[in-house]
Amino acid sequence: MAPASPLLRLSNLHISVDGKEVVRGIDLKIEEGEIHAIMGPNGSGKSSLVSTLMGHPRYQVTEGSVSFHGKDLLKADPSERAAAGLFLAFQYPKEIAGVTLRHFLFAAYNAQMEVRDPDAKRISPIKFKKFLEDAMAQLHMDPTFAERSLNQGFSGGEKKKVEVLQMSLLRPRLALLDETDSGLDIDALKVVADGINRMRSPAFSALVVTHYARLLDYVTPHFVHVMVNGKIVESGGPELAQQLEKDGYARFGVREEEKLRIALD
């Protein structure tokens, strides 16, 4: 019997944006139930990678392949990728005026459930309200936020909690977490990390993108990858994150002034 294919496989993946190559030949394999972290300085291609996996039209795959559950992910549009179980938590979550958080999540939840089980009965608004309030309580979120326009007037930490709230309700197979820890104080960081950890199971995997090791102090990954200048230059276990936190990226040829230049590009 042939071995089962990994949940996600990237093979020699090259990505360009506005004619500039930002990812330069990445190979990566994520199995079911695994948590992977990608660390690297600003401008290394981390966010470009996860945006491409989710199907952002600005990013063009110029070479290589991506398979998700053995199927060609690049042939699917973003809605099909989401329906297949891919989820992206944005680094900068968008605000949507006139659409309450509750209505947004109610529609997203029913749409996802219809794909997974077309014969299943849609959850009623009353049952979903209780379902949502229980999930919000676990993230220490004020239940009145459910009646506010999506992310409007929310703090940075509240927006990140909303991203984790969506993830906990939609139960994706693979979550792409793009710097979910940025802008969080230590208390909010612990709440977000706890929300991610509650998801951990053989049916849930994640690719965590971060600059720093502080989130990984609470969400221990199986593997850590270092991405510099569009390439994965080193991979290891959780201890690699601590080493990077201590020593930085200098040994990969990234000087402080170079990091600043990349960040301003």
As a whole number, the mean pLDDT across the chain is 90
Q: Quick check: 85 pLDDT over 70?
A: yes
Q: For the chain, list the domains and their CATH numbers.
A: 8-264 (3.40.50.300)
Nearest partner of 74 among 164, 152, 13, judged by Cα:
13
Confidence bin at 5 (pLDDT 50/70/90):
confident
Indicate left, alpha or beta for 181 from its phi (over 0: left) and psi (-120 to 50: alpha).
Answer: alpha
- Reported as a single tens digit per residue, the pLDDT across 208-234 is 999 888 899 999 999 999 999 999 999
Confidence bin at 263 (pLDDT 50/70/90):
very low
Euclidean distance between CA atoms 101 and 258, whole angstroms: 40
> Average pLDDT for residues 69-73, to the nearest whole number?
94
Q: Quick check: 34 pLDDT over 50?
A: yes
- Name the more confident of 254 and 128: 128
CA terminus-to-terminus distance, the chain: 49
Give whole-number Cα distances, 149 to 54, 78, 94, 173, in Å. 24, 23, 11, 27
